[in-house]
Chains A and B, each alone.
Chain A
Amino acid sequence: MKLPRTAARSLAALLLVWTAVAQLTPAFAVDSTPPIADPVLQQRYLALTHELRCMQCQGEALADSSVTLAAEVRREVHDLVLQGLTEQQVRDHMVARYGEFILYRPPISWRNAWLWGAPPALMIIGALIAWRVLRSRRPLIDQGPDEFGEDADEESGEESLQS
């Protein structure tokens, strides 16, 4: 009984540390651009910098990248948002220059059909296979417990009679 409790405690401690670190990370954020006074525009800016890719590092969003190019593209996004462009307009602005690759969330189009279609298609195929396998085993499942159940009932019935 003692071991699980210490384990639970250390787990809780670990969780606490992790939460604290997770809370601290915004302080280490790379983006040092002063926030836009208008909360709506600032929200738009944040959404865009988290959604657009840093073309130089490719595994990072604009907001997370420390390279010069990312800082410059962030400033461009900042300026465009301040000019009153909508999220979609800024996205289009960037796609016109860097291509769809700059979007972490590619648009749904015929060209991207396989990209968006493959996961649901695979899910459906998987579900179909699972359903078939389950259905083919159904007679066995129905059969097994019933025989056991009847036996058990009979036995318990005898027992109750005896007692």
Chain B
Amino acid sequence: MSDPSGKLRYLIPLGVFVLLLGVLTVGLVRAPEKDIIPSPLIGKSAPQFSVPNLFAGQGAVSSEQFKGRWTLVNVWGSWCYACRAEHPTLLSIKQQAQVPIIGIDWNDDETDARDWLDQLGNPYSEVGTDHDGKVAIDWGVYGAPESFLISPGGQVVYKQIGAMTPEIWRREFLARINAANPAGAAARSSPGATRAAATPDR
């Protein structure tokens, strides 16, 4: 700035250009992440709920049911295209009996939902219905499918927004379960795991 008429002043636009280039590159590279909004629920207790069972004659589905064991909570709907895409993955998780899956049928027609499960197979150990979206709001759901990994201590460990794939299941879900209990529930040291240790369910 001491020599405003010198050659240095011609470098200023170049500097601005490089800066802009940097900002835009970061924006472009990070663009795919923009659709994924991190959930504030991670590391917190899973929100409580108790909703009617999709299948008549069966008791209410509630958050109490997955206390003391790893659980996958899957929010879906028969209207949801990506749910159809992830369905085979959920079925294979069930076949391998890895963790029970609790389904939340969100803003759906019950008959449609039952037909859907009859047709494609039922990967869920329980399916609750959320007609007015109350549970979905409490869980911070903004699009189906969404899948939550719940620890035996009742905490939300991970959230997957969008369709589950075998690769995501292994990398993000199974890896976390395996890392958390190399030698049973008692080995867990994360806060809130005391309850899990106190109730050795497995």
Contact = CB atoms under 8 A, between A and B. Distances in A.
Interface of A: 55-56, 68-69, 72-73, 75-76, 95-99, 101, 132, 136
Contact of B39 (A72, A76, A99): A99
Contacts of A98: 37, 40, 140, 142
**How many B residues are at the interface, by size bracket?**
10 to 19
Nearest to B35: A58
Contacts of B59: none
B138 interface: yes
Given A56-B143, A98-B142, A136-B4, A72 B40 contact: no
A56 to B, nearest CB: 5
B133 A69 contact: yes
B82 interface: no
What DSSP secondary structure best describes chain B's contact surface?
loop
Contact of A72 (B1, B4, B137, B140): B137
Contact of B137 (A76, A95, A101, A136): A76
What DSSP secondary structure best describes chain A's contact surface?
helix
Given A69-B142, A132-B1, A136-B4, A99 B133 contact: no
Nearest to B34: A58
A99 B140 CA distance: 8
Contacts of A96: 40
B40 A68 contact: no
A68 B107 contact: yes
Contacts of A99: 37-40, 140
Given A68-B107, A69-B142, A76-B137, A97 B1 contact: no
B140 A97 contact: yes
A136 B41 CA distance: 56
Nearest to B37: A101
B158 interface: no
A110 to B, nearest CB: 17
B38 A97 contact: no
Contacts of B1: 132
B130 to A, nearest CB: 10
B148 interface: no
22 contacts: A55-B37, A55-B142, A55-B143, A56-B142, A68-B107, A69-B136, A72-B132, A72-B134, A72-B137, A75-B132, A95-B40, A97-B41, A97-B47, A97-B137, A97-B139, A98-B37, A98-B40, A99-B37, A99-B39, A99-B40, A99-B140, A132-B4
